[in-house]
Amino acid sequence: MAAASQDQNRPQNTRAVMAFLKNHPPFSNMEEDHLAHFAEHSTLRFYANDEVVLSTDDGVAKQFYVVKQGRIRGERLNSRDDRTETTFEIGLGDCFPLAALVGERSTRTLHRSVGDTFCLSIEHDAFVSLFTQSDTFRDFCLRGVSSLLDQVNQRIQSGAMASIGSNFTLDSPLERFALRNPIVCTPDLPVRKAVARMHENSVGSIVITDDNRHPVGIFTLRDLRTLIAEEKAPLSASIRQVMTPNPCSLLAKENAFAAAMLMAEHHFAHICVVDDENRLIGVVSERDLFALQRVDLVNLARTIGTATHLRTLVSLRADVSRLVDSMLAHGADSGQIVKIITTLNDVTVRRVLELNIAKNDPGIPFTWLAFGSEGRQEQTLLTDQDNGILFTTPEGMTEDQVREKLLPFARIVNDELAECGFTLCKGNIMASNPKLCLSGAEWDDWFVRFIDASTPQNLVYSSIFLDMRAVFGPGESLHELFQTALKRIGNNPLFQKMLAGNAFTRKPPLTMFRSFRYVNDGKKHALDLKRQGLAPFVEAVRVFALANGVGAANTLERMDELARKGVFDPKDANAWKEAYSLIQAIRMRAHNEMLENKEPLTNYIDPDDLNPLDRRILRESFRQAQRLQQKLELAYQL
Partner 1 sequence: MIDFLKQWLERKKRGGIDIGNLPNPKTIGKQPLVTSRLIVLDLETTGLNPAKDQMIAIGAVAINNNAMPLDDQFDLILRRPELDIRKTVLIHGIGPEALTAGHETEDALLHLLDWMNGDPILAYHSAFDQKFLEKTLRAELGYGENHIWLDVAELMPAFFPTANKQRKGLDNWADTFGLQASARHHAAADAMVTAELTLIALNKAAQQGIHTLAQLSDKLRYQRRLRNMQRF
Is the CB of 40 or the CB of 620 nearer to partner 1? 40
Please report how close the Cβ of residue 57 comes to partner 1 at its closest, in angstroms: 19
Is the CB of 51 or the CB of 361 nearer to partner 1? 51
Does 11 bind partner 1 (CB under 8 A)? Our answer is yes
Nearest-angstrom CA–CA distance, 318 and 385: 18
Please report how close the Cβ of residue 86 comes to partner 1 at its closest, in angstroms: 23
Does 125 bind partner 1 (CB under 8 A)? Our answer is no
Please report how close the Cβ of residue 140 comes to partner 1 at its closest, in angstroms: 21
Task: Decide if 149 contacts 104 (C-beta within 8 A).
Answer: no
Contact set for partner 1, span 34-73 (CB under 8 A): 39-48, 51, 69
Task: Decide if 579 contacts 620 (C-beta within 8 A).
Answer: yes
Is the CB of 50 or the CB of 593 nearer to partner 1? 50
Cα 25 to its chain centre, rounded Å, is 29
Cα 447 to its chain centre, rounded Å, is 32
Q: How would you classify residue 82: left for phi > 0, otherwise alpha for psi between -120 and 50, otherwise beta?
A: left
Is the CB of 31 or the CB of 51 nearer to partner 1? 51
Task: Decide if 117 contacts 65 (C-beta within 8 A).
Answer: no
**Part in contact with partner 1 (CB under 8 A); list of ranges 9-17, 191-199, 280-288, 579-587:** 9-17
Please report how close the Cβ of residue 26 comes to partner 1 at its closest, in angstroms: 19
Extended strands (E) in 477-595: 527-528
Work out which of 7, 19, 60, 452 binds partner 1, going by CB under 8 A. Answer: 19
Contact set for partner 1, span 464-523 (CB under 8 A): none
Please report how close the Cβ of residue 131 comes to partner 1 at its closest, in angstroms: 19
Nearest-angstrom CA–CA distance, 272 and 251: 9
- One character per residue 105-124, x = contact with partner 1 (rule: CB under 8 A): -----------x-x------
Does 92 bind partner 1 (CB under 8 A)? Our answer is no
Asked whether the CA dihedral 149, 316, 265, 346 is positive or negative, the reply is negative
Work out the number of other CB atoms within 10 angstroms of the CB of residue 636: 19
Please report how close the Cβ of residue 138 comes to partner 1 at its closest, in angstroms: 23
- Sheet order of strands, 280-285 included: 179-180, 280-285, 270-274, 249-251
Is the CB of 8 or the CB of 79 nearer to partner 1? 8
Is the CB of 44 or the CB of 228 nearer to partner 1? 44
Asked whether the CA dihedral 482, 487, 491, 493 is positive or negative, the reply is positive
Please report how close the Cβ of residue 65 comes to partner 1 at its closest, in angstroms: 12
Size of the site for partner 1 (CB under 8 A): 25
Is the CB of 19 or the CB of 60 nearer to partner 1? 19
Contact set for partner 1, span 142-161 (CB under 8 A): none
Nearest-angstrom CA–CA distance, 12 and 15: 5
Ordered DSSP codes for 34-91: HHHHHHHT-EEEEE-TT-EEE-TTS-S---EEEEEEEEEEEEEEETTTTEEEEEEEE-
Is the CB of 48 or the CB of 448 nearer to partner 1? 48
Nearest-angstrom CA–CA distance, 558 and 629: 16
Is the CB of 14 or the CB of 602 nearer to partner 1? 14
Task: Decide if 438 contacts 389 (C-beta within 8 A).
Answer: yes
Please report how close the Cβ of residue 134 comes to partner 1 at its closest, in angstroms: 18
Is the CB of 47 or the CB of 568 nearer to partner 1? 47
Please report how close the Cβ of residue 9 comes to partner 1 at its closest, in angstroms: 5
Is the CB of 13 or the CB of 29 nearer to partner 1? 13
Nearest-angstrom CA–CA distance, 561 and 544: 10
Residue among 545, 465, 540 nearest 503 (CA):
540
Is the CB of 10 or the CB of 619 nearer to partner 1? 10
Please report how close the Cβ of residue 84 comes to partner 1 at its closest, in angstroms: 22
Please report how close the Cβ of residue 44 comes to partner 1 at its closest, in angstroms: 4
Nearest-angstrom CA–CA distance, 226 and 38: 55
**Part in contact with partner 1 (CB under 8 A); list of ranges 6-14, 340-348, 535-543, 623-631:** 6-14
Does 15 bind partner 1 (CB under 8 A)? Our answer is yes
**Helix H segments across 369-439?**
372-375, 399-419
Is the CB of 43 or the CB of 86 nearer to partner 1? 43
How many CA atoms lie less than 13 Å away from 39 in the CB half-sphere? 22
**Part in contact with partner 1 (CB under 8 A); list of ranges 8-16, 414-422, 454-462, 617-625:** 8-16
Work out which of 7, 13, 192, 292 binds partner 1, going by CB under 8 A. Answer: 13
First to last CA, the chain: 75
Does 75 bind partner 1 (CB under 8 A)? Our answer is no
Please report how close the Cβ of residue 51 comes to partner 1 at its closest, in angstroms: 8
Contact set for partner 1, span 382-441 (CB under 8 A): none
Task: Decide if 114 contacts 71 (C-beta within 8 A).
Answer: yes
Please report how close the Cβ of residue 619 comes to partner 1 at its closest, in angstroms: 34
Is the CB of 10 or the CB of 616 nearer to partner 1? 10
C-alpha angle 570-469-341 in degrees, rounded to nearest 5? 80
Residue among 468, 460, 535, 447 nearest 499 (CA):
460
Please report how close the Cβ of residue 99 comes to partner 1 at its closest, in angstroms: 24
**Part in contact with partner 1 (CB under 8 A); list of ranges 16-24, 289-297, 424-432, 586-594:** 16-24
Torsion of the alpha carbons at 13, 15, 18 and 20, rounded to the nearest 10? -70
Is the CB of 14 or the CB of 106 nearer to partner 1? 14
Please report how close the Cβ of residue 59 comes to partner 1 at its closest, in angstroms: 17
Please report how close the Cβ of residue 121 comes to partner 1 at its closest, in angstroms: 8
* 116-153 CB burial, b ≥16 within 10 A, e <16: ebebbbbebebbbbbbeebebbbebbbbbbbbbbbbbe
Is the CB of 41 or the CB of 124 nearer to partner 1? 41
Work out which of 14, 303, 312, 484 binds partner 1, going by CB under 8 A. Answer: 14
Ordered DSSP codes for 209-230: E-TT--EEEEEEHHHHHHHHHT
Work out which of 3, 9, 277, 608 binds partner 1, going by CB under 8 A. Answer: 9
Residues in contact with partner 1 by CB under 8 A are 9-17, 19-20, 39-48, 51, 69, 116, 118
